[in-house]
């Protein structure tokens, strides 16, 4: 499984590098840092109660006057945590290396809509039941593709704010809980390099 993850990452990096080489004159890059709020649909515990962070980088280049193609790679924390009002406390912690391919539609020079696919490569997963019980989630799927949609606003020449939603296309666990899907929100600042 580890070799498959490495092969996937190397393949995607090579594809992105090839695209960068083709569009080298017009390429733009950003550093990404922000916060996430997530839940797992299907765990019978509603609410975006699991907080984490997202950090990474992105490159994008124009393919027309209003449309950009964007590739990004980010460390993204997802999972679920139930409310403190519930009798049994638990948390799912799942960390991913997200490889995204998105299209940007630029409404104006400052405002854009984004949409595309993100391929999450699972780095670690565990569940904790408060009271001390911790277990690795051995049946978690190693790949978690998701749809991603968001809005970006250019605050100034070097800084953009971005709000995005992400939803799993495939379930996050193969056997134990087959109807669980990631549902997360991210708010990030992006620094233009």
Give the model's confidence band at 22: pLDDT under 50 very low, under 70 low, under 90 confident, else very high: very low
pLDDT greater than 90 at residue 104: yes
pLDDT greater than 90 at residue 188: yes
Question: Where does 2-192 sit in CATH, by number?
Answer: 2.40.160.20
- Residue 169 has a pLDDT of 87
Looking at 37-41, 78-82, 110-114, which range is the least confident one?
78-82
- Residue 50 has a pLDDT of 78
Contacts 24+ apart (CB under 8 A), 48-52: 48/183, 48/184, 48/185, 49/80, 49/81, 49/82, 49/83, 50/77, 50/78, 50/79, 50/80, 50/81, 50/91, 50/92, 50/93, 52/76, 52/77, 52/78, 52/79
Q: Where are the domains of the chain?
A: 2-192
């Amino acid at each position: 499984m580890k070799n498959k993850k490495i092969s996937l990452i190397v393949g995607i990096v090579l594809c992105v590098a090839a695209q960068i080489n083709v569009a080298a004159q017009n390429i733009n890059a950003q550093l990404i840092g922000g916060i996430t709020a997530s839940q797992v649909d299907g765990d019978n515990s509603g609410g975006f109660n699991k907080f984490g962070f997202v950090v990474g980088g992105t490159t994008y280049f124009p393919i027309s006057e209003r449309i950009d193609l964007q590739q990004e790679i980010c460390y993204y924390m997802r999972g679920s945590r139930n409310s403190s009002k519930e009798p049994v406390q638990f948390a799912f912690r799942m960390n991913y290396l997200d490889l995204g391919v998105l299209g940007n539609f630029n409404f104006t020079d400052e405002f854009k809509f984004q949409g595309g696919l993100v391929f999450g490569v699972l780095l670690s997963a565990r569940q904790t039941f408060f009271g001390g019980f911790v277990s690795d989630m051995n049946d978690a799927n190693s790949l978690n593709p998701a749809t991603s949609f968001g809005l970006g606003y250019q605050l100034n020449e070097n800084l953009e704010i971005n709000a995005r939603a992400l939803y799993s296309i495939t379930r996050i666990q193969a056997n134990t809980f087959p109807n669980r899907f990631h549902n997360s929100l991210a708010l990030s600042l992006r620094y233009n390099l």
